[in-house]
């Protein structure tokens, strides 16, 4: 397992709330700090029908330095063979987001919900007091590639619920579109946590910026392609923890699809299990 890398960009012209003291004279220099999680360092699971990469500790993969970030607990990058999938299994007290990149994912749950989600769809299941569900590749011919994301809820024992929306590519092209928020702003799905999730597509000279409220944490996950964030280039599967920065600027994309998380300023959420 590789080490985490801290990439720093010297800021002589860009203001930052971070300051580092260097040298005997205590000279203060300002930096943006982006803690990069390289795709190649993620946990791996290979089950024949399933190929999975774990950004954070999950199942048989455990790294004490990778047990989530704030309320963001799981980002699993899953590829499932045709006609295969996850049989019925239970969850409770977890906000579970599915985001399809390629193919079609079939969902059924104990609330009576049945759906097939495809690229552009966003699915959010709030497990609450308990729900059982299954997820299968809807196709008998083609694989499905999707992200499963878990966020710890702000309250336990809530009523289970299911939500789904579709966000077409035009709304994400060269910008960051809000897809999940605590107050269902701008037609986004309502999550039971102080978390906002944005999706964006970037290529060529497209650029966009996202303002983070003072003191908030950010996390960037590059689902595919590559993109530069505040001067740091991230490739497919890479992620980045971001602390104490007020603006994230995305540029120089190469067929990039990104998810951006606006999070509470906690290193790891408390008592989520």
Q: What is the DSSP-derived secondary structure letter of residue 161?
A: E
Choose among 190, 188, 206: nearest CA to 198: 188
Task: Enumerate the known binding-site residues for Fe cation.
Answer: 89, 91, 133, 135
* Binding positions: 89, 91, 133, 135
User: Which tokens in the block code for residue 186?
Assistant: 């701008």
Angle ∠(188,66,131) on CA atoms, nearest 5: 50
What gap in Å lies between CA 31 and CA 51, rounded to an integer? 37
Cα distance from N-terminal residue to C-terminal residue, the chain: 25
Give the torsion through C-alpha atoms of 194, 69, 150, 257, to 10 deg.
90
Tokens of 56: 């954070």
Question: How many CA within 13 A on the CB side of residue 7?
Answer: 15
Buried b (16+ CB within 10 A) or exposed e, 64-78: eebebbbbbbbbbbb
């Amino acid at each position: 397992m590789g080490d985490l890398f801290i990439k720093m960009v010297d800021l002589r012209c860009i203001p930052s709330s971070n300051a580092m003291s260097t040298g005997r004279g205590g000279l203060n220099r300002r930096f943006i700090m982006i803690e990069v999680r390289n795709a190649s360092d993620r946990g791996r699971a290979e089950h024949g029908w399933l190929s999975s990469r774990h950004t954070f500790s999950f199942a048989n993969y455990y790294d004490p330095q990778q047990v989530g970030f704030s309320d963001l607990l799981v980002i699993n990058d899953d590829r499932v063979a045709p006609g295969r999938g996850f049989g019925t299994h239970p969850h409770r007290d977890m906000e579970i987001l599915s985001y399809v990149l390629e193919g079609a994912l079939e969902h059924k749950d104990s609330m009576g919900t049945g759906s097939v989600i495809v690229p552009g769809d966003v699915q959010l299941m709030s497990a609450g007091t308990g729900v059982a569900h299954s997820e299968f590749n809807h196709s008998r011919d083609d694989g499905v590639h999707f992200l499963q994301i878990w966020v710890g809820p702000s309250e336990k024992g809530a009523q289970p619920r299911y939500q789904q929306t579709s966000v077409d590519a035009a709304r994400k092209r060269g910008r960051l579109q809000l897809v999940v928020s605590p107050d269902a702003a701008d037609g986004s799905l309502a999550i039971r946590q102080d978390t906002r999730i944005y999706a964006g597509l970037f290529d060529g000279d497209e650029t966009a910026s996202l303002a983070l409220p003072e003191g908030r944490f950010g996390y960037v996950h590059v689902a595919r392609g590559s993109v530069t964030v505040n001067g740091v280039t991230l490739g497919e599967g890479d992620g980045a923890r971001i602390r104490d920065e007020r603006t994230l600027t995305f540029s120089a994309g190469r067929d990039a699809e990104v998810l951006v998380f606006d999070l509470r300023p906690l290193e790891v959420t408390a008592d989520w299990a």
